[in-house]
Chains A and B, each alone.
Chain A
Amino acid sequence: DSGVTQTPKHLITATGQRVTLRCSPRSGDLSVYWYQQSLDQGLQFLIQYYNGEERAKGNILERFSAQQFPDLHSELNLSSLELGDSALYFCASSTRWSGEPNEQFFGPGTRLTVL
């Protein structure tokens, strides 16, 4: 158990809908990262937050947004969903906001299926 929790475990929705994925980092970790894992794209970095502020952006679509709250949990919002958004979404946390080595602790993931 990494100490990172993600809810829900599974989510099935329809195209055009909007969903929110939730992540609680390990106790004491201030950085939260979101990743998308799909069969054809591998593991893609989406976005990083540190202590409530956005720190780095990867291949995140404009239809997606995220935020980190004062209690450090984070939410990833996916809107106008398309079939291609079906994937595993992972959250990870770490103590660092920059610099290395950067050990990231991954949650179990949320499997999103868009029908």
Chain B
Amino acid sequence: GEDVEQSLFLSVREGDSSVINCTYTDSSSTYLYWYKQEPGAGLQLLTYIFSNMDMKQDQRLTVLLNKKDKHLSLRIADTQTGDSAIYFCAEGLPHSSASKIIFGSGTRLSIRP
């Protein structure tokens, strides 16, 4: 089945690292994505990882993928107030005639001073 699960809320102190976790169900997923939604805005792609990779780093963002456990995480180093947003994990489902992405419910990240 197609399902992506994430916890709904995460609160971290400013300057600490944030780790947002996600599990997915479809083992045929080829790409996994992290999108960010700021208040009052649409989603914006943050990063993605190909399913044969274990890790991808992009400045303050680190994505870890455990394909065996179908577990994906996003680590944000030195979390800032501007990182407050909802973070969506998503899996891309390969299909010959379409391009379908299944999103999780989103994790709301709040930053404590």
Contacts and interface: CB of A to CB of B under 8 A. Distances in A.
Interface stretch (A62-70, A78-86, A103-111): A103-111
Contact of A56 (B44, B99, B106): B99
Nearest to A103: B45
A100 B92 contact: yes
A94 interface: yes
Nearest to B42: A106
Nearest to A40: B105
A4 interface: yes
Contacts of B50: 101
A21 to B, nearest CB: 14
A92 B43 CA distance: 9
Contacts, number: 76
Contacts of B96: 98
Nearest to B105: A42
Interface residues of B, number: 27
A98 B42 contact: no
Contacts of A101: 31, 33, 48, 50, 92
A75 B35 CA distance: 24
B7 interface: no
Contacts of B100: 45, 48, 56, 58
Given A43-B88, A56-B95, A102 B42 contact: no
Interface of B: 30-31, 33, 35, 40-45, 48, 50, 88, 92, 94-106
Interface of A: 2, 4, 31, 35, 42-43, 45, 48, 50, 55-56, 58, 90, 92, 94, 96-109
